[in-house]
Amino acid sequence: MTTQIKDPVHGYIELDDAVVDSVIDTSAFQRLRHVKQLSATHLVYPAANHTRFEHSLGVYHLGRRVFENLRQEPYFTRQTSPAVVDEIQSTLECACLLHDVGHPPFSHVCERHLDAAELRDRLADRGFVASLREAGIDDAPIREASPHELLSCLLILDSFGDALRALSVDPEEVCAYVLGYSLVYERGGPWQYGLGAQLLHSPVDVDRLDYISRDNWMTGANVLSFDTDRMVEAYTAHPDEGLALSEKALSTLGNYLEGRIALYMWVTQHHKSVFANALLRDLTERAAALTGDPPVTIDGVVDEEIGDNTVAERLRRLARDRPDTTFATLYDRYRSRRFPTTCWKHRIAYADRIDVDREAFGEWLVSGDARLERELAAELGVPVHDVWIERSYVPEYEPSELADIPIAYGGTTRSAGDWGLYGDRAFDSPIPFVYVPDGDRKRATRWLVERFRAEYGG
């Protein structure tokens, strides 16, 4: 028996009832309905209220479609039993559903409150680190994983372990997929196990394919125009070359590349999005400092199943109880969406107004942000909390990752860049933003450039 869920991005998503009952219809998974995918970006794009819940369903849907397409290729199942292929597909589907189950409230904004060292210790206590080492992987995946990935693994083992085993799925293998590995493959199992992990965690993974489509659609930004179905049909793989896109993707790859960059630059890196998320981050940090109790903790997610509303209500109460504090002032600014002016809104203005080495200038800004905020506030005669120097709040979404997209042709793979498919495209890193009160933009820009020249001789 199956259940169908209507999704605005992919249409009908079909799920086995056993998965719905044991995984999706649990409080730990339903918590994702209360975790916004794009944190505070809804203050810029009002319809951006989509959550980690529907994103997880979308990743499942794409992962299942791609894997079922691969199963139709004769080479994929050659010398591998249907039972093994079924096991890999079940593992992949569960990993796709659960890959973001550890996201804290407001996603990346509150991730800094999760204690990564404690998460690593808990995973070690449960034997997962030992399993990685036994497979010859060592603990690199644990060291390199983000806190939300580590918490996802912890929840998979603790909250979903029994359910996964009842589905004949190994919880540890699901965790490994979330981190981009397969324990079975590393132990010498068939190459298709490793492919399953790549489908969820690689330059062409279905996680990215869903979130760029979904973020574009749900924000209404309309900066992305590419054929998702064509991309799904283009996935291919080989025992020695791994996961790649076939030549079928060539007709839509350019749109995919341009669209991802555009979405990154005009949604994630929109100057108001950057400030909205920076302000929310600052409020959570100030709340922790004021009360001595972080608004987000590991146990809060695991045991209390907190979501965005939990944190938002705590911030509201704290502002109400301390009306004469800077925290209350900033909370009112957040709630009322009274954001300061940025000295430049985009890369064109940045290039026009900063007549020094902009790469060095940008690094100087973000590396000395606290000091420069204090000094610039003193120069402008305003409170320090009225001056902000910020960069992207999700720096792991660097567009330069696109250069690693593998294209398969003639029995081998090379990156899209090696084939010349990028042309002259430049993959820009995020620019820094400086926010000051209205009327102080030109003065602040001049002061910063002069100070940079004085300190670096630029």
The tens digit of pLDDT for each residue in 213-227 reads 999 999 998 888 878
> Which stretch of 2-11, 256-265, 359-368 has the lowest confidence by average pLDDT?
256-265
Reply yes or no on whether the pLDDT at 240 is more than 90.
Answer: no
**In the block, residue with structure tokens 């080492």:** 133
> How far, CA to CA in Å, does 402 sit from each of 195, 205, 245, 259, 412?
19, 12, 13, 11, 19
What's the pLDDT score for residue 361? Answer: 95
Residue 398: predicted pLDDT: 57
The pLDDT-based confidence of 425 (bands split at 50, 70, 90) is low
Residue 221 token pair:
């930004």
pLDDT of residue 253: 81
Mean pLDDT of 91-116: 97
The pLDDT confidence band at residue 355, using thresholds 50, 70 and 90, is: very high
For 317-352, how does the pLDDT look when each residue is reduced to its tens digit (9 = 90+)? 999 999 999 999 999 999 999 999 899 998 899 999
In a domain, 248, yes or no: yes
Q: How far apart are CA 378 and CA 368, in angstroms?
A: 16
Residue 322 lies in a domain: no
Confidence band, pLDDT 50/70/90 cuts, at residue 204: confident
Distance CA 134, CA 118 (A): 22
Place of tokens 């305003």: 382
369 burial level (CB within 10 Å; 0-12, 13-18, 19+): middle
- CATH number of the domain to which 120 belongs: 1.10.3210.10
Poorest-confidence range of 375-384, 397-406, 446-455?
Answer: 397-406
Q: Is residue 196 part of a domain?
A: yes
What is the average pLDDT across 187-193?
95
- pLDDT bucket at 257, cuts 50 / 70 / 90: confident
Lowest-confidence pick of 160-164, 306-310, 406-410 = 406-410
Q: Write the CA distances from 449 to 124, 179, 443, integer angstroms.
A: 49, 42, 10
- Residue 261 counted as domain residue: yes
Percent residues over pLDDT 70 in the chain: 96
Average pLDDT, the chain: 92
pLDDT tens figures, 38-80? 999 999 999 999 999 999 999 999 999 999 999 998 888 888 8
Alpha-carbon distance of 129 to 176, in angstroms, equals: 10
Q: 117-121, 311-315, 362-366: lowest mean pLDDT where? A: 362-366
Question: Is residue 151 situated within a structural domain?
Answer: yes
Does residue 413 fall inside a structural domain? no
Closest Cα to residue 219, out of 415, 42, 406? Answer: 42
Domain count, the chain: 1
pLDDT in tens, 127-164: 999 999 999 998 899 999 999 999 999 999 999 999 99
Global confidence as pTM: 0.94
| Domain-located, residue 363 | no
In a domain, 182, yes or no: yes
Domain extent for 207: 2-268
For range 244-268, the mean pLDDT: 84
